[in-house]
Structure 1
């Protein structure tokens, strides 16, 4: 009985050894780079299966996105036709150049056949290159150095020139808009400007718009213009002739509003602005 058990055990050992030997003959492995690896480098181990291996069972593949042993991190496993690609990344390095091996995995095909993925030898190197006989514990790291200051004198001069130019330009624009330009603005141009500003004023006199237009006519002729002087106005300023009907209506309405015992209706702001703009267009062509 004892001899029978011993024979049975030896038989099983031989069978398992034969199976392992056969499974190893089912595959060939290669690596795209086996030496000179440093921290962060990526490598790909390619495993090619023979024709008697069926399609691999995806559920039997090793777990990805995890670290194996001290050196390698398995990022991805790709199965392409009759090959499996194991993508690793070096996540740790020793103090001196060392030979390591990839993990040994067991996978199976859809028929349940177990296949062992053998290890592959790699060479990885340290981060620091040490002199002969020097130990990593004796390496002295350089102290933090003071930051290198950038010469900013040129930039400061340019910035100063830019600020001065901006200030001068602002002064010129202010003088132009609030000094020289209004002073040299033609009468009806000034009237249109004042009427436009009047539109946004909350508190204003009812006859203020009409007075602005009268002022423009007075400045155009250099004297006070009343209804009886309109013919002289058109004779001295013939460019106003195309607007004589509108101008006469304006003066008639003003005479009624300002000088009649019973004051008439206030002139419409929109019509006054329209008249001023029409006179301005003729003024520019004069």
Structure 2
């Protein structure tokens, strides 16, 4: 009965039609191609993966294609053995399986690798390859384009700073609301209101009171969208400065920012 049980055990199947590389004439860096045709369908998950098999041998690629009656595998090995004399090397076998679970062993092979040149051969300058031809590149056009780009960038930044009233153009007399918008952020309500009034005076050319607000808006119609808020601002100022009671509460920093935005042409 034991011999019958042994007969029933699955034996590894044998690969068919193995085409190994020639057994001699290989050097450092050469690629050796092995082709194996197998009867049956190979389970792709069992194929060896490309890797460094040893310090002197890499499996670079494993390709599989279906053929009539089976599968053809193409394994590409690369030799990295730096031989000092002709030396035989052994590529190991690999275990795979078919889709029906049958075990299969891909055979290895032997090959002889040799040194590219004698280890003690003298080296002379004439063995060096000549320098490749080259031509000089004139850096002047690129330098001029870089300079022009830098000048354009600086000019653009300065123009933007002038338009928006940034440093060093933020103290221009033509931008009183821009200066006031920066100043009122850190001031208490009474001082902030006073600073914004000074900006109205500078923009109007003289002291601007609530009674002349319509004239101010006629001379500067760009501020007309804020007319109601400006009337409320002057009414609250009259109430605070002349003891007429408390006027409506306003966000003076926001009003100053809106005036500055119109002054800079954003609205």
TM-score normalised over the length of structure 1:
0.46
> Larger Rg: 1 or 2?
1
More helix by share: 1
